[in-house]
Amino acid sequence: MSLTTLLVWALIVAAAVLVAGAYKREGADRRAPSAPEAGLGNGAEGLLAERFARGEIDDEEYARRLAVLRSHTPKLPLP
């Protein structure tokens, strides 16, 4: 193999690695942000809000479950 052929193959492999990395990163960016990132409260409330937004639960079930979650949230003492 000549040096030029070796260089061409190295560039092809490097381009493939870069494209695969960009594709993987793009997939991670498309997922829904977690509850704290989305500003939806704690993790359980955020998950419930996401399910409601996707239409998996109706407004009555959302309100009922949210009330249950909030009634069981421990109150932290103020310093």
Q: Are residues 38 and 46 in contact, defined by beta-carbon separation less than 8 angstroms?
A: yes
Residue ranges covered by each domain of the chain: 34-73
pLDDT band at 35 (very low <50, low <70, confident <90, very high): very low
pLDDT digits (tens, 9 = 90+) for 46-72: 999 999 999 999 999 999 999 998 887
Identify the CA nearest to 48 among candidates 67, 30, 31.
Answer: 67
Mean pLDDT of the chain: 80
What is the structure's pLDDT at 43?
Answer: 85
